[in-house]
Chains A and B, each alone.
Chain A
């Protein structure tokens, strides 16, 4: 099958029923999406497919029909993505394991809703963080929303 990940096209020989997560991690060595639960409950494996956040552990590789963006493909050539910058400014990551998924979920939220309310953030940011960085994540998202030009 053919997959476009972070702008690069890959020809992969894999079972179409293989979860996208394991195809990315084990076959393409793209390690940004993390394994947390395998049932779509934690969001550590979040990637963007055509801009929408998808839990790649519970998504058949064969069902992918649009370009994939993982955390590795988020930054520009010379600068990090504004959400990544905000994550650094607010010192969000602790263990950091869930943060690739959190950042991609936040990117999707801000693209859809440039000035999210607390309720919008609650509804969109459903990824688990065992370090409890939620207050910092919320602050970082609001910071991006309030920055010049609003949102992304």
Chain B
């Protein structure tokens, strides 16, 4: 095994994600490119330039954007990366998600998988990033998540566009028999600079695609960009305002059957007894079949239409086995309390002697508080669904999903097939937020598809199934201790977070049998990796073993650590008698913290921070660095009426580089509303082992009448490129709680905040 292979394997283990046997194959394999998946799926006459660009015989240009469009605008921005270099506009091309393939592996999502702050430029942190980049290629996971898509694609996809442009120019030069320097590419045409003659790309595409790809690809300078850095119209916007059938739930195939599932409400167990007589009597119901998977056990009802399947599932008479875990919320609470009393499972980013500082600080300058968040569901607008059909030895799955190669892996494992026998057709999705990283709904459809005599079957979950069988954002409880100097600076910070283990829980169902090692940084992200110059500090995870399925929920660990950390800094500032803005700025003294200071000062200016407020109104501030993007928010509330109204949110963000300002702002607003929605009442609780909530009447999200107005500013000073989809979420709940404190003097430390105060 090569040295790099060894390092990769060892470091990857040490970094705590998963150990994959495939990592030991060495450097040669790393240097070998993944096969181009378009070659297998080509139509006659297609000119295939690389995995991202092909031109049909008729001259139509298609750009493959292999990240899932779930609302974040990724297909438009990724297409623009290619189009910019290819010298075409977005209305000249078609965009397609493309097939599931390791060629579309996501490097950026793994590069920052190590336990380092995104601004950490130490040798260790950078070595880890390089190692993870190598590992990502070995593992070859095509995934949309971690706000990583544009970062991952920024070079790759511009290079793909430029390489295609260069061979097109060369082919035109050959056709005209002139030097390549005399040919330029503009707006989908090749131009003979001497004669002014023009050829559409399609005319030379076949020849061009056969030429060897250029060794040195020259990318345009940012000042020459025509598309990047400017707002683009979404490539799919007309479909989305005309009701086009683009979502997974809209899939319609000849002879298709409809189905739904009714899974055990108790996780990890199945039915004790069941009687399908009444279900089978529902007109339109054809079959009831059992399901048994690592995602849960239960039944599927196959019918001629969705409504019949829903009625059949309801009519199914089942007695479920008892849950094997603490069956209600109150019984779970002691697990979190006890975990905090026990030794930490691991610590990250710790330095100095916070205990000693605590002991040596007088009680009046000590602050100890606890915070809590509940389990929460993703509640995507489009409930989980997928369509499957078995054709000979191939399994076809039409799935609104964020991780097609994971679907292949999970189904290959279940059916003992090769991954290339599983064809995943990724549709548009009605929201993802991390829920659609999971393969459960696709696997269920594939299993049900074995019972429809070769006919396709679309499996649609009810909202109740969707709510009660999520992979939830975990419940968490944190104890924060801090000490203040006599002049009001934070001198020590001691953070302990009790939370179930995200990576372990996820891998157990996604890659069963794969060992897990090392610290799970997701448990502490949003705390240990924040810009803070405090000499003595500790960030400790206290892992709570609870078998409730948990997973990736927009911003993951940042979603709760952002609330804890930024609430605590606000509390500490008030205890120190300092303004929360200046208290924070005083704690950000490293050069690497500069973007944090800039977004804080910017948002303070926008919100007129510090100006006197009318009685009953208040502003709260929070800042979280997540997914490489620095986000400061000020929330203003009006508490003068009976119910609290969230009036306005100001937001300043620095992702280093903005590829589409309109879309980036929309994502920050979307992220903030997602975060604020938690505060308004989102909570998943348990009774007798089952989730209490079932539908939007007991698990809702922010509505129009509750939505604040927004003002957003974007800075581009950060040295590394950051993501868009998630960073707006983490600071919002803390900024809201801090605003409520400013307005009322009431400190709310437990989510949802609506348990303690009424909102409009």
Contact = CB atoms under 8 A, between A and B. Distances in A.
Interface string B61-104: 00000000111110000000000000000000000000000000
B696 A39 contact: yes
A134 B242 CA distance: 19
B710 to A, nearest CB: 5
Contacts of B707: 132, 134-135, 138
B245 interface: yes
Given A34-B430, A35-B249, A135 B669 contact: yes
B472 to A, nearest CB: 16
Interface string B653-678: 00000000011001001111110010
A80 B71 contact: no
A91 B234 contact: yes
Interface string A93-129: 1111111100100000000000000000111011111
Contacts of B73: 94
A62 interface: no
Contacts of B381: 34, 36, 42, 44, 95, 97-98, 128-131
Contacts of B237: 87-88, 91, 93
A116 B355 CA distance: 60
Nearest to A125: B704
A95 B704 contact: no
Interface residues of B, number: 64
A122 B670 contact: no
A71 interface: yes
B242 A128 contact: no
A41 B697 contact: yes
B95 to A, nearest CB: 15
A contact residues, range: 35 or more
Given A42-B696, A70-B243, A131-B431, A122 B71 contact: no
Contact of B241 (A34, A93, A129): A93
Nearest to A27: B305
Given A88-B241, A91-B662, A35 B306 contact: yes
Contact of B233 (A91, A126, A130, A138): A91
B74 to A, nearest CB: 11
A3 interface: no
A36 B382 contact: yes
A65 interface: no
Nearest to A21: B307
B310 A26 contact: no
A66 interface: no
B463 A34 contact: no
A75 B382 contact: no
Contact of A95 (B233, B429, B703): B429
Contacts of B240: 93, 96, 99
A34 B256 CA distance: 19
Interface string B426-446: 001111110000000000000
Contact of B306 (A15, A25, A127): A25
Contact of A126 (B238, B677, B704): B704
Interface in A66-98: 70-72, 74-75, 80, 84, 87-88, 91-98
Interface of B: 69-73, 231, 233-234, 236-243, 245-247, 249-250, 252, 258, 283, 305-307, 310, 379-383, 428-433, 460, 462-463, 662-663, 666, 669-674, 677, 695-697, 700-705, 707, 709-710
9 contacts: A19-B307, A31-B243, A34-B247, A37-B695, A72-B243, A128-B703, A130-B381, A134-B704, A138-B707
Given A35-B249, A95-B70, A131-B670, 17 more contacts: A26-B258, A32-B242, A41-B696, A74-B242, A75-B242, A91-B237, A91-B666, A94-B73, A94-B666, A95-B380, A96-B240, A96-B246, A98-B430, A123-B705, A130-B381, A131-B71, A132-B671
Pairs of residues from A and B, 3 with the lowest C-beta to C-beta distance, nearest first: A32-B243, A132-B673, A97-B430
